[in-house]
């Protein structure tokens, strides 16, 4: 399938390959398990697996859960030839709470005054956002959703068996970016219970102006939320 991509698209994508590899290796060096994602070619993702029907962002490897690793040397080999998307396996070094923009922004704004609490109660950790406005808050793993959030249509917890696209992965709508980078928090993760408490506050205090799509089309891959 890769050979069918137009040469101009391939050349454009290759410009990102070295940068993507460098950043993927840095994630791995800090203990975050990485797996290569399909490559964006024009407006669809190409993984190279024969017969793969998925055109959205998805893992390039069929057995990605078993292959995901924090070994920098192995991660580097995946980006040797192709500009893969960078996917981070969740439920291992961290879980992710994925929320719409209004919840993510509220949680981040409320976290700033509480930044200087105890380390165990830290509510400010790395935060990434997709070009479609989905905020991904990285928290310490293992904490289930609070009862108030368990059945919420706006909050998805990504734990074991799931993944997120990591900056600077490109999606058709734009680039995934850090709102709060790992360097800003010294690679420390937020307390999951504290962050969930902020999201509960946000749900009570802020109402979205317009309904937001619950499962945006720009991330149609087989990701499981727990």
Average pLDDT, whole number, for the chain?
84
Instruction: Dump pLDDT digits (tens) for 46-105.
Output: 998 888 999 999 999 999 999 999 999 999 999 998 999 999 999 999 999 999 999 999
pLDDT score for 56: 93
Q: pLDDT tens, 19-28?
A: 999 999 999 9
**Of the candidate ranges 78-82, 135-139, 166-170, 215-219, the one whose mean pLDDT is the lowest:** 215-219
pTM: 0.85
pLDDT grade, residue 114 (50/70/90)? low
Instruction: Report pLDDT for 41.
Output: 86
Spatial contact of 204 and 149, defined as CB atoms under 8 Å apart: no
* Tens-place pLDDT, residues 161-211: 999 999 999 999 999 999 999 999 999 999 999 999 999 989 988 765 545
Residue 187 to residue 191: CA distance in whole angstroms? 13
Q: What is the pLDDT of residue 108?
A: 85
pLDDT at 84: 95
pLDDT at 123: 74
């Amino acid at each position: 399938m890769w050979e069918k991509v137009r040469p101009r698209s391939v050349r454009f994508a290759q410009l990102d390959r070295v940068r993507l590899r460098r950043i993927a290796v840095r994630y791995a060096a800090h203990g975050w398990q990485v797996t290569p994602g399909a490559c964006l070619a024009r407006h669809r993702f190409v993984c190279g697996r024969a017969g793969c029907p998925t055109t959205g962002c998805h893992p390039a490897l069929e057995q990605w859960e078993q292959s995901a690793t924090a070994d920098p040397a192995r991660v580097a080999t995946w980006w040797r030839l192709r500009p893969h998307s960078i996917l981070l396996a969740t439920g291992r070094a961290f879980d992710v709470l994925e929320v719409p923009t209004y919840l993510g922004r509220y949680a981040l704004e409320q976290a700033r005054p509480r930044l200087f609490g105890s380390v165990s109660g830290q509510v400010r950790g790395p935060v990434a956002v997709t070009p479609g406005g989905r905020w991904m808050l990285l928290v310490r793993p293992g904490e289930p959703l609070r009862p108030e959030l368990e059945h919420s249509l706006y909050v998805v917890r990504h734990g074991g068996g799931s993944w997120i696209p990591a900056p600077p992965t490109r999606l058709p709508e734009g680039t995934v970016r850090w709102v709060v980078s790992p360097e800003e928090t010294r690679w420390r993760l937020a307390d999951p219970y504290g962050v969930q408490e902020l999201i509960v506050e946000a749900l009570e205090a802020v109402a979205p102006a317009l309904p937001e799509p619950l499962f945006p089309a720009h991330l149609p891959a087989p990701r499981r939320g727990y």
